[in-house]
Amino acid sequence: MKIALVGIGKIAVDQHVPAIANSPDWELAATVSRAGTVDGIEAFTDIATMLEARPDITTVSLAIPPVPRFAYAQAAIRAGRHVMLEKPPGATLAEIHALQALAQAQGVTLYTTWHSRMAHAVAPAKAWLAGKTITRAHIIWREDVRKWHPGQDWVFEPGGMGVFDPGINALSILTEILPAPVHLQAAELEFPANRQTPIAARLQFTGNITADFDWRQTGPQTWDIEIDTPDGKVALRMGGNLLEIDGQPAQGENTIMDEYPALYARMADLICQSRSEVDLAPMVHVADAMTLGRRTETEAFDF
Amino acid sequence: MKIALVGIGKIAVDQHVPAIANSPDWELAATVSRAGTVDGIEAFTDIATMLEARPDITTVSLAIPPVPRFAYAQAAIRAGRHVMLEKPPGATLAEIHALQALAQAQGVTLYTTWHSRMAHAVAPAKAWLAGKTITRAHIIWREDVRKWHPGQDWVFEPGGMGVFDPGINALSILTEILPAPVHLQAAELEFPANRQTPIAARLQFTGNITADFDWRQTGPQTWDIEIDTPDGKVALRMGGNLLEIDGQPAQGENTIMDEYPALYARMADLICQSRSEVDLAPMVHVADAMTLGRRTETEAFDF
């Protein structure tokens, strides 16, 4: 199936382009970007022109930042194309509700992807936790924004989500593997004096579940989720890619795909089944944290 | 049907108690409050004791602030009681999703009330707008927080919503009467230097729809919604209670109930039909504004 990739930035080059290139399901048939291109692939600078010129391209994958994403998604769905959205799926919850209704009316597939849910340890951790009682869980998600978003000021602009841009990956795993839903009880958000989104957040959920997000960690990066039950402990390390049971590696053989190839395989499946998959639970927790969180001001941040 | 009212504060005394007293459907059988009581009605200070002592009370109405509300609602639903929630229904979206699932599992009615939707002009405005195209809409919701929430510091604490506490009333009307859903594109939020929630907000939605919320207006209070269409203009004034079409009063005869009596009548209907009514659209717009809004600091505020 032919696909167009919109937004040729870092995440597109690092993940989307190789995942599509190595997929048995997909052929990268066009790109849409004001700046980037992919060698040998027809390049457009605006989506309306691409949608008009290439009726053979039936699916559009959007890897642009969340704030401008709605207009692109709306245009593609109105033109009868299937759409997959990078995480977070948009800048607001209401716009995704609107896209969901539009996709249903148009009879096309809408897929709100959460790449971290495809990490290797997620499915086995979910299976291990099924039916168990959680007595405590703690997320530590600490990375260096300068390494992962070099110079990308949009992450600190309204709608850019700040430290929730990586933190939502942890929340996408948490909401996937927990046997029962939780909700936020309190949050502390640290805003740099010169920025509009938080650079650090500490969250407290029901069920003795806490999270520590920080975007100022240099050196080794930490993406860990530890969960205790009366029947033992499970930990997911390296962003959900390494599984530990009771402190011991429990990976075993691993034949499943990497994150982005798994997302593109899932999109192909959804289209074949004429289904959409729209799960906003991780984004609801972020919106709740921004609504309920206690704000403190911290040192100004510059790239 | 017997009902218990939880939270005997200003809104309970002003609205809930008289609405229940004058209702043909309801009998106020108990109150739960740490401070307030109602003359002649059995008073409890904690909900667990009331639920245990009064199995004859099948419905619980919660008029306490949003942050503590979840625990009360959960206790009542787990005890098999129907529950109605003052607006906003909670401090987070996720907790209402959880209550909705719990109410469904327990087979009881959950009703997230939005009292302003029951204002006199709302149903006629909705009928007039049906099938029309909106070319512009503007909300002006300006009131004096000292008058409506005297000394209530919780409105400026995390989860207290600030100026969205009244503003969500306007959004509850807007989301009820518009022929198609909209979503937020930008917002400006003014936070007093010493407070955790905004005292003023300006919102810009898709479809040329804007809102101006301010909690610092002394003198006459303003609660207006003006909507333009190619077929004429409609305005709702006085918090949705006065209707104007093309600048002329269009109220005509008015036999419908006031807001809170209408909510209690609706709750009785829902229970008779074994249905719940949970609409989070107004709260989603507030969460989106808190997530997407650009923040500015303004003068410190004290009651």
Taking the alpha carbons at both ends of chain B, their separation in whole angstroms is 40
Residue A47 and residue A151 share a domain: no
Mean pLDDT, chain B, whole residue set: 96
**pLDDT score at A255:** 60
Q: Is the pLDDT of residue B145 over 80?
A: yes
SS3 B170: helix
In this predicted structure, the answer to whether residue B187 has a pLDDT above a threshold of 70 is yes
Q: Is the pLDDT of residue A134 over 70?
A: yes
**Helices in chain B by DSSP H: which ranges?**
10-11, 17-21, 47-53, 66-78, 93-106, 122-129, 145-148, 164-177, 259-272, 281-292
pLDDT digits (tens, 9 = 90+) for B200-245: 999 999 999 999 999 999 999 999 999 999 999 999 999 999 999 9
Does residue A185 lie in a domain region?
Answer: yes
For residues A26 and A7, state if they share a domain: yes
Q: How far apart are CA B51 and CA B2, in angstroms?
A: 12
Q: Check CB contact under 8 Å for B291 and A295.
A: no
Same domain, B135 and B75: no
A164 and A27 both lie in a single domain = no
Query: Mean pLDDT across the stretch B260-277?
Result: 98
CATH of the domain at B77: 3.40.50.720
pLDDT single digits (tens) A2-46: 999 999 998 999 999 999 999 999 999 999 999 899 999 999 999
Residues A71 and A193 in one domain: no
* Residue appearing with tokens 């401090």: B91
Last residue of a domain, one of B112, B128, B152: B112
Q: Do A156 and A235 lie in a common domain?
A: yes
Torsional sign, CA A283, A287, A293, A297: positive
Interface residues of chain B, partner chain A, Cβ below 8 Å: 67, 70, 91-95, 97-98, 101, 158-159, 161, 181-184, 186-187, 191, 196, 281, 284-288, 290-295
CATH of the domain at A169: 3.30.360.10
A279, part of any domain: no
Q: Name the residue range of residue B88's domain.
A: 2-112
> What span, in angstroms and rounded, lies between the C-alpha atoms of B44 and B51?
10
Whether A291 contacts B287, CB under 8 Å: yes
Of the pLDDT bands very low, low, confident and very high (cuts 50, 70, 90), residue A67 is confident
Express each pLDDT in B82-141 by its tens digit: 999 999 999 999 999 999 999 999 999 999 999 999 999 999 999 999 999 999 999 999
CA-CA distance, A30 to A12, in Å (whole number)? Answer: 13
pLDDT at A100 over 80: yes
| B67 — pLDDT class (breaks 50, 70, 90) | confident
Identify the closest residue of chain A to B293 by CA–CA distance.
Answer: A158
User: pLDDT tens, A184-204?
Assistant: 999 999 999 999 999 999 999
Paired tokens of B265: 């009548």
* Share above pLDDT 90 across residues of chain A, in percent, rounded to a whole number: 95
Domain boundary among B88, B112, B136: B112
Last residue of a domain, one of B89, B112, B135: B112
Which of these, B105, B107, B85, B124, lies nearest to B278 by C-alpha position? Answer: B85
Q: Per-residue pLDDT averaged across B260-268, rounded?
A: 97
Average pLDDT rounded to a whole number, residues B260-270? 98
Confidence of residue A257 (pLDDT cuts 50, 70, 90): confident
Nearest residue of chain A to residue B186 (CA atoms): A158
Work out the minimum CA distance from A42 to partner chain B, whole angstroms: 31
B189, B294 Cβ separation under 8 angstroms? yes
Asked if B131 and B102 sit in the same domain, the reply is no
- How many Cβ atoms sit within 10 Å of the Cβ of residue B65? 21
Distance (Å, rounded) from C-alpha A236 to C-alpha A226?
Answer: 6
Q: Are residues A124 and A245 in the same domain?
A: yes
Do B47 and B8 share a domain, yes or no? yes
Residues A239 and A129 in one domain: yes
Residue A260 lies in a domain: no
The number of domains in chain B is 2
Region B261-282: mean pLDDT is 98
Nearest to A292 among B91, B293, B294 (CB): B91
Report pLDDT digits (tens) over B154-181.
Answer: 999 999 999 999 999 999 999 999 999 9
How far, in Å, CA of B60 to CA of A268, rounded? 48
Q: Does A151 reside within a domain?
A: yes
A8 is a domain residue? yes
Q: Is residue A303 part of a domain?
A: no
pLDDT given at position A252: 54
Q: What's the average model confidence in pLDDT over B74-85?
A: 98
pLDDT surpasses 70 at A253: no
Q: Are residues B52 and B185 in the same domain?
A: no
Nearest to B291 among A97, A290, A294 (CB): A290
> In chain A, which residues have their Cβ closer than 8 Å to the Cβ of B65?
none
Residue B174 lies in a domain: yes
Q: What is the ipTM of this complex?
A: 0.94
Cβ-based contacts under 8 A for chains A and B? 100
Co-location of B94 and B133 in the same domain: no
pLDDT in tens, A73-97: 999 999 999 999 999 999 999 999 9
Kindly list the residues of chain A whose beta carbon comes within 8 Å of any beta carbon in chain B. 67, 70, 91-95, 97-98, 101, 158-159, 161, 181-184, 186-187, 191, 196, 281, 284-288, 290-295
Residue A273 is assigned to a structural domain of this protein: no
